């Protein structure tokens, strides 16, 4: 196995096989909430920070070629959100009181 990039955890391969979404520990953030979501273009190895400012310490999954789903703690378990995988836009609530996103595709 060859490490392509350090500090890359919980990778998820895009449906088209061209990108990874992953969590990354960001230096300078609170030790209690250091994780941010990033996408990595596998052809260029260019990293893009996603538009979710909250710490995501969980597996993110692709809901389609352009969108990533993930969970954050909620009032009753976890709430699911989506965000564009290109670094634009903003997070959008998907469903409340869920457990974790899953892909059936």
Q: Please state, rounded to an integer, the average pLDDT across all residues of the chain.
A: 89
Exposure class string for 30-60: b at 16+ Cβ within 10 A, else e? eeeeebbbbbbeeeeeeebebebeebbbbbb
CB atoms within 10 A of CB 81: 22
| Most confident of the ranges 12-16, 27-31, 58-62, 98-102 | 12-16
pLDDT at 78: 86
pTM summary value: 0.88
């Amino acid at each position: 196995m060859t490490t392509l990039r350090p500090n890359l955890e919980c990778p998820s391969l895009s449906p088209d096989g061209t990108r990874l979404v992953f969590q990354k520990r960001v230096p300078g953030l609170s030790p209690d909430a250091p994780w941010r979501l990033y996408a990595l273009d596998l052809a260029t190895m260019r990293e893009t920070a996603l538009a979710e400012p909250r710490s995501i310490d969980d597996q993110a999954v692709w809901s389609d070629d352009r969108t990533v789903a993930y969970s954050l703690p909620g009032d009753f378990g976890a709430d699911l959100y989506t965000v564009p995988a290109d670094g634009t836009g903003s997070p959008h609530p998907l469903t409340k009181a869920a457990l974790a996103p899953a892909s059936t595709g």
